Structure 1
Amino acid sequence: MKDIQQPGASNTVAIVGAGLVGAGWAVVYARAGLKVKVFDANPEITRKSIPLIEGQLAGLHRHGLIEEDPATILSRITTASTLAEAVEGVTYVQESVLERVDVKRQLMIDLDAIASPDLIVGSSTSGIPGSAFALGLSLSPRILIVHPVNPPYLVPVVELVPSPETSAATVEFAETLMKAVGQTVVHVRKEVEGFVLNRLQAVLLREAWALVDEGVASCEDIDKTVRDGLGWRWSFMGPFETIDLNAPGGVADYAVRLGPLYQRIAASRQHEQPWDETLIKQVETQRREHLEHGDLESRRAWRDERLMAFAAARRSTHPEG
């Protein structure tokens, strides 16, 4: 991909917020042939982002997931010292700043003051609706949620969530861009906290914490259940297709057979119960028995290597994604 396929669009994008998510997005865009300008209000984070990206590209090359030399892709990525420098001459900004309403709101105000008339902003927020920080500005019709899974250069799904003021043209642009850079687009058609992915994840996590709290199973055995059970099917099909194939007569048959069981399970929970301090300490203790705190970073690198191997295998068996 050499250009964003949209009339008048620049082939340069800006990343604002250069942490793990922002750096991952930089890889997505540069890998697709776009130029990328990276900016963070903390210059130290901006500085650290380039070595991080360099390591990510080396891993992708090692697993055959990029054809170009990593140095060539890295050469498309530059850093900016100011927000104005980052957004100058770009059509699209990927916002990846702290997951706080006040921080995101202030950034939108700052962007509104310097944005060109065609600038579009995609927010990487994990669950905050755009209406919480993106309304009432001249820029508002050109802001939407573009929520990735971390790391976005390995896990392709991205949720597009418009605010009540987002224009249809903005959603169309974002969809075109995401598909062009190799992401899988999910349209979230109504604003809801957590969107689709994290609401699904929240239900599983709620039950996982409750099972530990009640002494039903350990953290490790719950992880095994997902890793060596549910995850096998979920790695290539979703929950509706899973149950559609799990009853002789398909999904309607499954609903008749097992719907009452799931209703009873759901009704058994008091979902307002928080993860309290005692429970968090219990889970933390169990996890540290399997992974010391000092090994978290190396385990993240191990995770990414496994994801790269999985992506390479998936590409060979599912070339169309």
Structure 2
Amino acid sequence: MERVAIVGAGLIGRAWAITFARAGCSVRLYDPDPAAVPNALSYIASVVDDLATSDLLSGRSTAAVLDDIVGCDSLADAVAGVHWVQECGPEKIDIKRATFAELDRLAPPDAILATSSSALLPSAIFPQLQGKDRCVVAHPINPPYLVPAVELVPAPWTDPRVMERAADVLRSIGQVPLVMEKEIDGFIMNRLQGALLDEAFRLVEGGYASAADVDRGIADGLALRWSFIGPFETIDLNAPGGIADYVARYGPMYAQLAQSMAVPPDWARATAEGIEAERRAALPSHALTDRQRWRDRRLMALRAHKKTADTQFGS
């Protein structure tokens, strides 16, 4: 039984709490805002039944998962005796540095200290810490209890054994670590997502397609393959001779396309001039929360299907 502290009980923290608890970990949840932990526990209680229905609690009962998540009144209580700390505070460098200074002081010396940061580089967060070699970025794709990929990013000084141990822990709780060799702005996911969003905005801004058709092109096109194989395997399977054959056939076309993609689109202008109105016509602001719940239930169904398909066909 791993003991885990989640520091920050907002959107990401409560999702991590579910992820660790369903794997049988004893989770301690802390937030400096007194209202945050009760709100997080209430949210968790509202979704575990749906997760159980989709067989996404690793065979555990909802009661067992809820019992393994306990709120703490102090940071010291939360990190006492833990093996892993997952920090989920605001994406502000001064707050992260102050939090990790406290974590490094209070947490057991052999505990891994991880941050959920989606953009701040580990070399910027941890440089002054005595135990900086045990600190990593473990950035989830939200929510991690439905989307298993986690970017594991080292600072230049991170102990390689810590990276290996962190990857093992993530695999043991059902996540898929993306083990980066070194840090870079945006890590893996935001860089890939940013490139795709750039082109999506460019197509709409230029009047080539509606936002709805771009969305459908991903949801009913590329994402169907990408939900179980990635871009490299996709092109490896899309030419008779594999990836080298694909590059020989289509590389020049993509090189020509890249020239038209060199000028970045204006996201704000494209949004103001049409995308916002199109999205609000399709989904009024007051319906966003209900649609988010619909999205998560669809993700649950997809995750359940992938588990069954992996068993039936292999992964």
Q: Offset at 1:274?
A: 4.2
Question: Structure 1 residue aligned with 2:48, among 57, 63, 66?
Answer: 57
Q: Which residue of 2 aligns with 1:16?
A: 7
CA-CA distance at 1:264 after TM superposition: 1.5
Alpha-carbon distance, 1:271 to partner? 4.5
Q: Does residue 316 of the first structure (1) align with residue 308 of the second (2)?
A: yes
Matched, 1:186 2:178: yes
In the alignment, the residues of structure 1 paired with residue 82 and residue 130 of structure 2 have an alpha-carbon distance, to the nearest angstrom, of 18
Mapped to 2, the partners of 1:269 and 1:192 lie a distance apart of: 22
CA contact (8 A) 2:3 2:25 kept: yes
For residues 185-243 of structure 1, the C-alpha deviation after alignment (integer angstroms, 9 at most, x for no partner) is: 21111110111111111100011011111111111010000001101111111101111
CA distance in 2, matches of 1:258, 1:245: 14
The amino acid across from 2:119 in the alignment is G
User: Residues 70-85 of structure 1 correspond to what in structure 2 (within 5 A)?
Assistant: 70-85=62-77
Amino acid across the alignment from 2:121: P
Residue segments in structure 2 that go unaligned for 5+ positions in a row? none
Matched residue, 1:40: 31
How far apart are 1:126 and its partner, in Å?
1.3
Q: Which residue is 2:157 aligned to?
A: 165
State how 1:1-321 maps to structure 2 within 5 Å: 3=1, 11-66=2-57, 67-276=59-268, 278-281=269-272, 282-319=274-311
User: What amino acid maps onto 1:41 in structure 2?
Assistant: P
Distance 2:250 2:187 in 1: 26
CA distance in 1, matches of 2:77, 2:267: 43
Q: Which amino acid aligns with 1:34?
A: C
Amino acid at match of 1:61: A
Give the Å deviation of 1:34: 0.8
Q: Which amino acid aligns with 1:45?
A: A
Following TM superposition, the consecutive aligned residue runs of length 4 or more in structure 1 with deviations greater than 3 angstroms are 270-274
Mapped contact 2:205–2:265 kept (Cα < 8 A):
no
CA distance in 1: counterparts of 2:240 and 2:262, whole angstroms: 33
Q: Deviations over 1:275-308 (max 9, x none)?
A: 23x3222321111111111111111110110111
Cα distance in 2, alignment partners of residues 120 and 271 from structure 1:
42
RMSD: 1.4
What percentage of aligned pairs have identical amino acids?
42
The separation in 2 between residues aligned to 1:209 and 1:46, in whole angstroms, is 37
Which whole-Å CA distance do the structure 2 matches of 1:17 and 1:286 have between them? 35
- Offset at 1:82? 1.6
Q: State the Cα deviation string for residues 8-42 of structure 1 (Å, max 9, x = none).
A: xxx21000111111111111111011100011121
Q: For residues 273 and 219 of structure 1, what CA distance do their matches in structure 2 show?
A: 14
- Quote the offset at 1:113 in angstroms: 2.9
Encode CA deviations 1:111-131: one digit per residue, 9 max, x unaligned. 233233222111111122101
Deviation at 1:272, TM superposition (A): 4.8
Q: Tell me, in whole angstroms, the C-alpha distance in 1 between the residues paired with 2:237 and 2:164.
A: 34
Question: So what's the TM-score if we normalise by structure 1?
Answer: 0.93
2:236 corresponds to which letter in structure 1? D
> Residue 287 of structure 1 aligns to which amino acid in structure 2?
R
- Three-state SS of the structure 2 residue aligned to 1:93 is strand
Query: Counterparts of 2:118 and 2:263 in 1: how far apart (Å)?
Result: 21
Secondary structure of 2:228's aligned partner: coil
Number of aligned positions between the proteins: 311
Between stretches 208-217 and 97-106, larger displacement belongs to: 97-106
